[in-house]
Structures are given as C-alpha cells and as structure tokens.
Amino acid sequence: MAELKDIIRQTKAQFCLDCGKCTAVCPVSRFDAKFSPRLIVRKALRHPDKIYADENIWSCIGCNMCTVRCNYNVSYVDFIRYLRMKSRENGTEPVFSHAGVPESFMHLMARKETKQNRLGWIPDDVGIDTSSGTAFFVGCAPYFDAIFQDIGVRATDSSIGAMRLLKAAGISCNVLADERCCGHDLILSGDLSGFLDLGHANIEEFTNRGIKKIIVSCPECYYTLKVDYPRYFNDWNFEVCHITEVPEISQISRHTDANGSVKRKVTYHDSCKLGRYFKMYDGPRNLLNSIAGVELVEMENNRENAVCCGASPWMYCGSINKQVQDERLRQAGSTGAEMMVTSCPKCQIHLTCAQKSHDNAAEDIRIVDMYHLLSQSLARKEKD
Amino acid sequence: MNAGIVVFTCNWDGWSCIDAASSAGMKYPASVNIIKLTCLSSLNAGSMLKAFELGADGVLLLGCLQRQCRYGQFSGNIEVEITKARDILNLLGARSGKIKLSKLAAFDGKGFVEQLQAFINELTAPTLPVKIQTSIEKIHMTERKIIKG
C-alpha cells in the first residue's frame, strides 16, 4: 500500500489552508462538532502515528461537499479512505450497521468458488440477450431486496425499470449470472483486499462473457467501475457508461410527452456520486421532465449543494446520520411534492429507513426510484 | 470429514439440552462450535452470515419451544432474521451453507445430539464432488442443446 506522503501528494492534502470552508458545508460537521475534514488532514500531518486510531475518520459519509467547495480541490474523501485502509491494516474493526449483513455477503460473494443464483428477479417481459457484448450491471440490488424487505424498498424495481428503458430504446443487453458487487462500500470502509477480490472476480466474469461495454444505473457502481477500477486494475479495458448518458434513452422518453393531463409534483434528490462527483445534474432532470404531467420542483438545496442521504458504506449509522437524513426529508416535504425521486437505490433505502423510523416532517412524501417511475410512464404509453 | 457447524443457543432450554448431553457423556463431532446467547431473538442475520464468512458449513439455532420463552411473548424476530439470511444464502448459490432452527424441550440431550447429527449428515451426504457435478451439468447442457437443435 502507498505511503502517507504519496497520498498527501495525490489528494493535494498539503494545500489545505485550514480555511474551514469544508467544515462549514460538511453535513456531518453541522451535527457532530468533533468532526471536520480539515482537522483530519491537520491531525494526519502533525501526528501521523495517532491518526489511525482516531474515531473521527469513520464519521465521513463521502458526499464530496468539501472538495467541491475547496479552493485547492483537496480530495478529502480519498484521503480519509486511505486513512481507513491503513487503520484496518492496523487491526481496527469498524462498527457495521444492519448487523454487518452487507459486509458479510460482499465477502462471501468475492469467493472464487461462489456460483450465484441471482437472476430470479428478472421478469419474463424483460429478456436478456446472452450473446450481447453489452452488459447491464445490476450490482447488489437483489441482495438489498433480501435485507430491506421489512422497510418496503425493492431495489430490483430500479434495475427492472432501467432494463425496460434499455429495451424500449432498442438496446439489447446481457445481465451476468455471476456478476459481483462492485466493491464501492468495501473500499470506502477501508477494506482494500475485499475490494480487490471483488474486482478481479468481476473482470474475470466480464472477460469470460465477452463483454466490451457496461451500462450502469446505480451511481455508486458507476463511480467505482469508471474511476476506481482503472485506478486499481491494470487489465481493465471496458467501456463504462451511465444509463442517462445513453442517447437513445433520452429519445424514447420524448415520445411519452404526448398526453399529460394529470399534474404530479415531484422533486429530484441528487445522489452524491452522480451529482457532485460526475456533475450529471441535467440528464436525470430532463428525463423526469419528459414524463407526461410531471412538474419538477427543486428542494432548498439542490444540484451541487444537495444534502447527502446521510449514510454511505453501511457503517456507523447513528444519530448524526439520522439528523442529516431528517434535514433532507424536511426539505423534500417543504416543496409540497407528492414524490421524492432518487436515482440511487441506496439513497432510496437510507431515506425510507429514516422516514419509517420516527416522526418527521415528510411522512407523506413517497420516495420513488427514478428508473421505476420512468419505466411506469413507458408502460402507460404503450397501453394507450 | 465433518462439516463445520456453529450452534447459536439460548441460555435456557437450548443450553439445558447441550448441558444434559454433556452430563450424560454423549458424543458429537469436535467441529461443532457452540455460542451461547441470552435469547435467540437477540440473534440477527449478520451473525449467521458472519459464521459462514468465517468458514462454517452450517448454522444450527437452538431455542425454547414456542410458549416456553423466558422473556414473555415470543417475538418471531428470529424467523424474520432467518428468512433474511436464507435469502442471501440462496442468492449466493447452493454451496454457500445452510441454516436450521430447532426448538427442543428442556434437558433433551438425546434430541440435541440427534438433531445435530441429522444436520451434519444433511450437509455432508448429498454433495457430489465438484468435478462430477460439473460434468453432470455439462451432460444436461448438451442434452438440452440436442433437444432444442
């Protein structure tokens, strides 16, 4: 693993001026006075031997708000990710939420001998083309279905929606029987070896099935395949593209413009990865606007100022995270919208969990997945 | 070779069965690891999956009979957690392990050893060696192709 001084150079941490802009915008710092991105950098530079035992390195939710604001573009999330890797190397065990189920199934999935049975959720009308060189990357959606059945979120609805959109756009894709989790949550929680195992298994599967291009709908999978895989794997030579970037998708949705009689107010929640990391703000909004009868209203904080859904790599989800989620729900509620649309299955899970766990300002708003909504409007159009 | 088994048992009737078995000098394989909890309702899917992650082939849950729970009304929590863990194992494929729930009356040492042995037999017996299994799968595949062609 790289040395601390290399990481300081890579993440530009030496440019941190201690100005405090990162702390001012950080959603965690707002509720947790002990946490601050700049303080972590300062502690790491002054006392590199003590920083790995500091519990504050586990509070970051990786929303990238700090880097967007930073005048020198210091990549705090990457810096903290490195500190976590080192800390785990030294034997620290983070506290996992959901009883550690996500972490365990990711490790079990990474095993070479694992032969998964993960395509049962695909409905008959959405065919898969096993000879295609293009793959639709599903990620952990079927596994999330198994864990989050009690809060009523079906993550595979998002994947089914995305596949229906691709089918309507005339793009035939394969869905791989032994695709693994992308490893986003493992690497963000500092588990580098788990991430590498998943990555190698995925590359082997893509190569064996003759895949050249990968279409992704989950923003975190997209970030990992697009940014982290080329960084960590020399043999990565696949084209990765997000579903909203596929030109045919925006064309099919334009056809659904026709008869808009029912007005529905919806608000769009920018996921951190699609928003602040890739600056894809307009693509999803244009798609939503193209649904007949949809009126898109913005929340108080939107686009690069959007508040994160509050919990990232399935760990340390506590009262601070709930406060961040409550703030986001309050913003959604005050728009008066009927639905809050997310483009990330994890945002949907986290926000629904917060909504169901206690009373808050937005108990009536429905938290809906974007691809599911888009595919439903498609189905209605076909019936007409 | 014996299958690696983790037994999660409650502090009451479940534990009394194991206690009775050992007092009576009954034998069971050394590959069985026993973890005692206050009540099975405090167990979650994460701990079951962690056992498989650490190399177990099977997880046996030992609890009190429905109306015997010392903590009042039986919550049904364990059934929910078992469903979650089984769903995950199902997605991970057939070779990823099995979970069994058994509820025994207090001090049934014989019942515990029998249940355990039956579970071990279930885990070890039916699996064919990997090579034979894959060649059988290949035969099935070619048969299907011939029928289709």
pLDDT in tens, A274-332: 999 999 999 999 999 888 788 999 999 999 999 999 887 899 998 999 999 999 999 99
Q: Tokens for A256?
A: 């659904």
Which pLDDT band, with edges at 50, 70 and 90, does B149 fall under?
Answer: very low
Give how far A118 is from chain B: nearest CA, Å.
5
* Residues of chain B contacting residue A156, judged by C-beta atoms under 8 Å apart: none
Are A57 and A23 within one domain? yes
| Contact yes or no for B53 and A143 at CB 8 A | no
Are A126 and A265 within one domain? no
Are A153 and A32 within one domain? no
Are A157 and A77 within one domain? no
Are A325 and A378 within one domain? yes
Residues 6+ apart with CB under 8 A from A194: A106, A107, A110, A183, A186
For residue A296, which of A308, A281, A310 has the smallest C-alpha distance?
A: A281
Report if residue A253 sits inside a domain: no
Mean of the pLDDT values across residues A255-278? 79
pLDDT tens across A192-250, in order? Answer: 999 999 999 999 999 999 999 999 999 999 999 999 999 999 999 999 999 999 988 87
C-alpha to C-alpha distances, B146 to A207, A242, A383, B133, B138, nearest whole angstrom: 27, 39, 39, 20, 12
State which residue of chain A sits closest to B86, comparing Cα positions: A146
B138 pLDDT above the threshold of 80 = no
Given this model, what pLDDT does residue A294 score? 87
Give how far A52 is from chain B: nearest CA, Å.
25
Q: Give the end of a domain, one of A23, A56, A89.
A: A89
Q: Which of the following CATH numbers is that of domain B5-148: 2.60.40, 3.30.160, 3.40.1350, 3.40.50?
A: 3.40.50
Given this model, what pLDDT does residue B85 score? 94
A152 pLDDT above the threshold of 60 = yes
pLDDT tens across A85-109, in order? Answer: 999 999 988 999 998 999 999 999 9
pLDDT tens across B116-136, in order? Answer: 999 998 888 755 555 555 555
Are A131 and A167 within one domain? yes
Of B50, B80, B93, the CB nearest to A150: B80
Residues from A in contact with B at Cβ < 8 Å: 96, 98-101, 104-105, 107-109, 113-118, 142-143, 145-147, 149-150
For chain B, domain boundaries: 5-148
Report if residue A77 sits inside a domain: yes
Average pLDDT of chain B is 83
Given this model, what pLDDT does residue A2 score? 80
* Dihedral-angle region of residue A18 (phi above 0 means left; psi in -120 to 50 means alpha; beta otherwise): left
- Alpha helices by DSSP H, listed for chain A, are 4-10, 21-25, 27-31, 37-46, 65-69, 76-89, 101-110, 141-147, 155-168, 184-188, 192-208, 219-223, 229-232, 247-255, 282-289, 319-334, 345-357, 370-383
Average pLDDT of chain A is 90
Report if residue A76 sits inside a domain: yes
The phi and psi torsions of B56 (rounded to 5 degrees) equal -70, 150
| Contact yes or no for A109 and B92 at CB 8 A | yes
Instruction: Assess contact for A365 and A338: CB atoms under 8 A.
Output: yes
SS3 B29: coil
Mean of the pLDDT values across residues A136-143? 95
* Residues of chain A contacting residue B45, judged by C-beta atoms under 8 Å apart: 99, 101, 147
Query: What is the H or E stretch that residue B123 is in?
Result: helix B109-124
Are A283 and A224 within one domain? no
Report if residue A242 sits inside a domain: yes
Higher pLDDT, A1 or B69: B69
pLDDT tens across B18-62, in order? Answer: 999 999 999 999 999 999 999 998 999 999 999 999 989 999 999
* Residues of chain B contacting residue A150, judged by C-beta atoms under 8 Å apart: 80
Are A357 and A263 within one domain? yes
Give the N- to C-terminal CA distance of chain B in Å, as an integer. Answer: 43
Please give the residue range of the domain that contains residue A132: 98-247
Q: Tell me the C-alpha distance between B86 and B107, whole Å.
A: 29
Are A205 and A346 within one domain? no
A308: CATH: 3.40.50
Which own/partner contact pairs does B71-78 have at CB distance under 8 Å and 24+ positions apart?
Answer: B71/B39, B71/B41, B74/B41, B75/B41, B77/B41, B78/B40, B78/B41, B78/B43
The predicted model scores a pTM of: 0.90
Q: Give the end of a domain, one of A31, A61, A89.
A: A89
Q: Give the count of beta carbons closer than 10 Å to the beta carbon of residue A88.
A: 18
pLDDT tens across B83-115, in order? Answer: 999 999 999 986 667 899 999 999 999 999 999
Give how far B41 is from chain A: nearest CA, Å.
14
DSSP-assigned beta bridge partners for residue A135:
A174, A214
* Residues of chain A contacting residue B80, judged by C-beta atoms under 8 Å apart: 150
ipTM: 0.89
Q: Tell me the C-alpha distance between A41 and A74, whole Å.
A: 10
| 3-state helix vs strand vs coil in chain B, percent to 5 | 55, 15, 30
Report if residue A252 sits inside a domain: no
For residue B137, which of A181, A322, B129 has the smallest C-alpha distance?
A: B129
For chains A and B, CB pairs below 8 A equal: 64
SS3 A326: helix
Q: Tokens for A344?
A: 């990330």
State which residue of chain B sits closest to A150, comparing Cα positions: B80
Q: Cα dihedral sign for A296, A299, A303, A308?
A: negative
| Contact yes or no for B46 and A104 at CB 8 A | yes
Given this model, what pLDDT does residue A257 score? 47
Query: How many domains is chain A partitioned into structurally?
Result: 3
Report if residue A170 sits inside a domain: yes
Given this model, what pLDDT does residue A262 score? 59
A341 pLDDT above the threshold of 50 = yes
Are A11 and A147 within one domain? no
